[in-house]
Structure 1
């Protein structure tokens, strides 16, 4: 009989195993067999918690999305009275801090982005990410700019964030988060002037 309260712990362990498997060989490597071997559990346990491989991948993507937006919300709450520029810079900083820029996390995001063009569930989660990030950025820009300009600037900055993410994922450990943040902060300054 399973221990009461173990489900969240076990799910988190399995999601970390998925991230390690994707880091090791892409989405195709994240099978029930490889994840179960990595986690030291049976494939039946994975099926119990996630149903199938798509359920496991969806849960992993939701986990990454949740972590990103929880971190952004926490960081933004410390800057509630700050300038628009500081608040937007905070969003950028969270996207490129140590926890978000781990090589394995970057590779996992990259794998999901590539597959989202072909898998409806992953495309839906990608759209949630784009919608939430766009909304956050647009809200900040709109405090000092007309609505249409704020919308366009939010799209430009999000494209730059995603571009830097893509590049850092491909470069692996050779990316310097402080250089990325500096580049994006310069762009924020240009978009606000």
Structure 2
């Protein structure tokens, strides 16, 4: 423990804050929110409980930061694939949807963390605000990809399409993360692409001929 604390103390301000968030996420992943007490988080991070208050005014504030990091990481994993995707609107949308329905986004640990935060979301308006921000960030990215497609759609239609496509992706993500052995390889991706294609009136599967789906 002494060695861990010395290592921790060499971190900068950002590193210390990140280490506390990582400790909270690890504890929630292992045993749910009840295991992520201030004492347990401090012990996992190798600091005294009092130091947590230096970075987060309350434990709830730390939980919000942890939730935001989990959600942002999943969204970023879907965004990252766009860097190596041809600059064709349908191809970019197809790989974005596919990435959202594959590991590391589809993951039982991530789903467990998401579920663990739900109770706090019901009781904490600030946690709901964090959830809303993460939801809208992903949906706005999705809507931007949909808006780039070569079709005619006004702002209202684009919004409705993004909400519908996001709902399909969310539902498949939840089931795939909760029951990873219930689906054949690539099945979630195929269903997701076909469902989004049906909503938008196009064929995203044609953009994925060599991706093992």
Same fold (TM over 0.5): yes
Shift of residue 54, structure 1, vs aligned partner: 1.1
Deviations 1:32-65 (A, max 9, x none): 1222233333212322222221111111122223
Out of 112, 129, 149, the residue aligned to residue 107 of structure 1 is: 112
Name segments (4+ residues, structure 1) moved above 4 Å. 1-5
Structure 2, unpaired ranges of 5+: 1-5, 202-213
Does structure 1 retain, via aligned residues, the 8 Å contact 2:42–2:48? yes
Out of 185, 188, 209, the residue aligned to residue 180 of structure 1 is: 188
Q: How does 1:51-62 map to 2 (within 5 A)?
A: 51-62=57-68
Out of 76, 93, 96, the residue aligned to residue 70 of structure 1 is: 76
Aligned residues, how many?
191
Change in Cα spacing, 1:133 to 1:36, as seen in structure 2 (3 Å) is: same
Matched residue SS, 1:117? helix
The CA distance in 2 between the partners of 1:31 and 1:168, in whole Å, is 29
Residue in 1 that maps onto 2:38:
32
Does structure 1 retain, via aligned residues, the 8 Å contact 2:102–2:189? no
Structure 1, unpaired ranges of 5+: none
Normalising by structure 2, we get a TM-score of 0.76
Does structure 2 retain, via aligned residues, the 8 Å contact 1:58–1:122? yes
Q: How does 1:40-55 map to 2 (within 5 A)?
A: 40-55=46-61
Change in Cα spacing, 1:37 to 1:59, as seen in structure 2 (3 Å) is: same
Residue in 2 that maps onto 1:142:
147
TM-align CA RMSD: 2.6
Out of 159, 180, 183, the residue aligned to residue 167 of structure 2 is: 159
Does structure 1 retain, via aligned residues, the 8 Å contact 2:20–2:41? yes
Shift of residue 108, structure 1, vs aligned partner: 0.9
Shift of residue 3, structure 1, vs aligned partner: 5.0
Residue in 1 that maps onto 2:16:
10
Deviations 1:56-110 (A, max 9, x none): 11111222233234334332233361232x2222222332343333332221122
Change in Cα spacing, 1:87 to 1:117, as seen in structure 2 (3 Å) is: farther
Shift of residue 175, structure 1, vs aligned partner: 5.8
The CA distance in 1 between the partners of 2:48 and 2:157, in whole Å, is 53
